[in-house]
Amino acid sequence: MDSSAVCIKVLETIDDTIPKDEKTSKTSIEEAIGKYCASSELGQKEKKMCYYMDPIKRNIAHPFSLKMPKDRVCKRLKKDNEDICNVKYAVKVAKDSSAKDVSKLRVKALKAILNDRGVDCNGCLEKADYVKQVMDTAHMDL
């Protein structure tokens, strides 16, 4: 998945909440960012993105008001705060995936999957050990 997928999704969601006639108003964009971030229905990744976006609302509102594409806005925001592009969605493994499909993932991704499931892979040295552990804990995936 793209490195700034969370950023793009958050900006598109914010864009959808702004009335069409106010999309060029910087103040209404800043208010929409504040309202979105105050929502209690946000996931962990979205909350983290809001944490990074809150101090730089003005820097977001300016290119946003010029109707710049969301991916370009995120790339521009990376200059202000590099952590914005470090927020990523977790890698998901399909329930019907085989060990062959899982073995195509990098060890770092396999470790992240196990970490999200709350599983420690003690004694895992080789990639095959991680693949086996991911397949054994597939029922734990949310």
- What pLDDT does 31 receive? 92
Q: Are residues 12 and 67 in the same domain?
A: yes
Q: Are residues 13 and 80 in the same domain?
A: yes
Q: Are residues 68 and 106 in the same domain?
A: no
Q: Which of 7-21, 31-45, 80-94 has the lowest mean pLDDT?
A: 80-94
Q: Are residues 58 and 20 in the same domain?
A: yes
Average pLDDT rounded to a whole number, residues 17-26: 89
Q: Are residues 9 and 77 in the same domain?
A: yes
Transcribe 46-85 into DSSP letters. HHHHHHHHGGGHHHHHHHHHTT--HHHHHHHHHHH-GGGG
Q: Among 4, 78, 14, which residue's Cα sits nearest to residue 45?
A: 4
| CATH number of the domain where residue 49 is located | 1.10.225.10
pLDDT band at residue 96 using 50, 70 and 90 as cut-offs: low
**Residue 133 predicted with pLDDT over 80:** yes
Tokens of 56: 């730089």
Domain extent for 44: 5-86
Q: Are residues 10 and 68 in the same domain?
A: yes
Q: Are residues 76 and 112 in the same domain?
A: no
Q: Are residues 14 and 80 in the same domain?
A: yes
Average pLDDT rounded to a whole number, residues 68-90: 83
Q: Are 93 and 102 in contact (CB under 8 A)?
A: yes
What percent of the chain lies above the pLDDT cut of 70?
A: 93
- Full-model pTM: 0.68
Q: Are residues 12 and 66 in the same domain?
A: yes
14-49: string of b/e by CB count within 10 Å (b at 16+)?
Answer: bbeebeeeeeeebebbbbbbeebbeeeebeebbebb
